Every structure is written in structure tokens, then in C-alpha cells.
Chain A
Amino acid sequence: GAVVSQHPSWVICKSGTSVKIECRSLDFQATTMFWYRQFPKQSLMLMATSNEGSKATYEQGVEKDKFLINHASLTLSTLTVTSAHPEDSSFYICSAREPRGADTEAFFGQGTRLTVV
């Protein structure tokens, strides 16, 4: 299957700082990428849908000013957690879907473990 790479795999930051997470599709172009958040022993919760060349679509309850998403190219989407607080500590995962149509599976990155101290 297609490869989605996420960077960094883990990051520790101080409270109040911002952290950027990158999601790249390595061998295909992804017009749409998805960002998820996962707390320990819980399922994946969709945060937002990232669309190349346009604004992201956020799920209800997700603060768009806190979680900034930029889909600058067909192979790169970034998630920036602004003014991070300890409650933002979580496992963030991106996924990307090949633009063959909507009825295709999405491929996931390896995830980023964010710890805010």
C-alpha cells in the first residue's frame, strides 16, 4: 500500500509553545488528508479534514485557532498545536487517501506522541 510519513514521531514541548507536526504522502498525491487524535486506550477521533488548496474542515468541538492545519501541497499537510497545554498531550495521527475517488482506503502515518510539560 501507499506510504504516509509523519514527523516527528514524538515531541516534548513546554506549556505555551507551539508544535508543528508534518504528514507526507511519499508515493502518491493526496488531495485530502485527515488528522486524528487518540488518547490512551481509546479510539481515533477525527479532528479535521485537510484539503489541498483550501481551508480545513474541522469537526465539532475542535478549536480551529488552536489546531492550525495547512495543506500546502498534494503531498504535505501540517498540524500546528498553538499555545500547547498539558491537556493537549496525546497521540496525533494523520491519514491520506489517494485521489482515485472517495471509495478508497486511507493510509495512516505512524503517529506523533505529543507531551506538553
Chain B
Amino acid sequence: GENVEQHPSTLSVQEGDSAVIKCTYSDSASNYFPWYKQELGKGPQLIIDIRSNVGEKKDQRIAVTLNKTAKHFSLHITETQPEDSAVYFCAAKKTPSYMKTSYDKVIFGPGTSLSVIP
């Protein structure tokens, strides 16, 4: 089955600097890659996602890149702010091409704890 790895496990940056979190996946058939932000005691919140037919996507200070050949995808946060401090999870999902179903699973990476120091 799919396996998602994520690095680093912890990351501290100064306010205003950039933060980069990298993930790899094992199943080349995975075609949807969401990123979630989880604050303490809360559920994950989708912050950005990318599909396999796109190499890069940007939304204000957040960008995600995907390298299908290498099976790598990364999250880039620019101009970090203290409120960006949270745990970030990458994930991968495979949508079967032969049937449309909602039974596909989202496999999560182990998470990165980001601390933005004021």
C-alpha cells in the first residue's frame, strides 16, 4: 500500500523567513496530494492541495510543488508568521481510474511541527 514520508519532523524558523516541508510517496498511482494544518486540540484543516496533472500551485504565502517522477512533493510557506505555528501533514490519495468511488483512502505523513519564532 501507499506509504508517505515527511521531513523534517520539527522545524523552527524566525518570523519572516520561509519554511519548507518535504514529502515522498511510494505509490506512483497516487494522484491527489493535500496538505493539512492542525492546531493543538483541533482537527486538521486543508490549506492547499495539488493534483498529479499540475507541477506547482500557489495560494498567497503558501505554495506546493510536485515532482511525479521522483514522487516528491513539498510545501513552501513564505514570510512566516507566529500564527503559522502548528503541525502540518502531507497526504496522498489514489483515485481508481476504473471506477468513481468515495472509498479511496487518504494516507497521511507523520507530520511536521512548525514553530515560528517572533
Contacts and interface: CB of A to CB of B under 8 A. Distances in A.
Interface of A: 1, 4, 6, 31-32, 34, 41-44, 46, 49, 51, 57, 93, 95, 97, 99, 101-103, 105-111, 113
Given A43-B109, A102-B95, A111 B102 contact: no
The bracket for how many chain B residues form the interface is 20 to 34
A60 to B, nearest CB: 10
A1 B104 CA distance: 20
B43 A105 contact: no
Contacts of A97: 102
Contacts of A49: 103, 105
Interface stretch (B13-21, B44-52, B62-70, B77-85): B44-52
Q: What DSSP secondary structure best describes chain A's contact surface?
A: strand
B43 A42 contact: no
B105 A105 contact: no
Interface of B: 31-32, 34, 36, 41-46, 49, 51, 89, 95-96, 100-111, 113
B89 A107 contact: no
Nearest to A30: B102
B111 A99 contact: no
Contact of B111 (A4, A43, A46, A111): A43
28 contacts: A31-B102, A41-B111, A42-B110, A42-B111, A43-B89, A44-B44, A44-B89, A44-B108, A46-B106, A51-B102, A93-B43, A95-B43, A102-B100, A102-B103, A103-B51, A105-B34, A105-B46, A105-B49, A106-B46, A106-B106, A107-B46, A108-B36, A108-B43, A109-B43, A110-B42, A110-B43, A111-B41, A111-B43
